[in-house]
Amino acid sequence: MDQNTLLVKMAIGPWEAHIKRATKLFDEFTDEQLLLEVAPGRNRVIYLLGHLTAVDDSLFTLFGLGEKLHPELEHAFIKTPDRTVAEIPSAQELRQYFNEVHAKLNEAFAKLTTEQWFEKHTAVSDEDFAKEPHRNKLSVLLSRTAHMSYHMGQIALTNK
């Protein structure tokens, strides 16, 4: 196995492990408990569920894999803080979106070649990529894994 292929395995393994752990973490909350704040005055767990879904949903367009599955989440869960948007999807819908987005992403990822992982994402120009070849898809995946870890640390604090 060459180093590039190995590196892809090294990034996708932890990404999938984080999704599994996050799913398990959210499953430990009842729909009602999802409305709890992770700490007094901070984001509610349901907001972080929507946030992680919306942020990862953007990988479809960023990687040129298709359209976002739930572009409607961006406003309530990325652009604005928790409790700004009065009507958000139900807990059940958000759980389903989280699973759907990650399942479809992983399906699409399985078809990417090692070379494609090392190609630029759509938010980098050809010019910039020539100078900064580390701004590839694999780097974005590593960063999304750390992002999930960041919020999982917070969700784990919730007093329920």
The binding site for a copy of itself (CB under 8 A) comprises: 1, 3-4, 6-7, 9-11, 13-14, 18, 38-42, 114, 118, 133-134, 136, 138-139, 142-143, 145-147, 149-154, 156-157, 159
CB atoms inside a 10 Å sphere around CB 142:
15
User: Do residues 35 and 48 touch, judged by C-beta distance below 8 A?
Assistant: no
Any bridge partners for residue 44, and if so which?
37
Give phi and psi for 120, each to the nearest 5: -70, 155
**Which residue number, 13 or 71, has a Cβ lying nearer to a copy of itself?**
13
**Which residue number, 78 or 90, has a Cβ lying nearer to a copy of itself?**
78
Any bridge partners for residue 37, and if so which?
44
DSSP string, 108-134: HHHT--HHHHTSBPTTS-HHHHHH-TT
We find the least distance from the C-beta atom of residue 118 to a copy of itself, in angstroms, to be 6
We find the least distance from the C-beta atom of residue 67 to a copy of itself, in angstroms, to be 27
Torsion of CA 15, 20, 22, 26, to 10 degrees: 160
We find the least distance from the C-beta atom of residue 7 to a copy of itself, in angstroms, to be 7
We find the least distance from the C-beta atom of residue 134 to a copy of itself, in angstroms, to be 4
**Which residue number, 42 or 96, has a Cβ lying nearer to a copy of itself?**
42
C-alpha to C-alpha distance for 44 and 65, rounded to whole angstroms: 31
**Which residue number, 70 or 121, has a Cβ lying nearer to a copy of itself?**
121
**Which residue number, 92 or 106, has a Cβ lying nearer to a copy of itself?**
106
C-alpha to C-alpha distance for 71 and 114, rounded to whole angstroms: 28
Q: Report the Cα 97 to chain-centroid distance in Å.
A: 11
We find the least distance from the C-beta atom of residue 145 to a copy of itself, in angstroms, to be 6
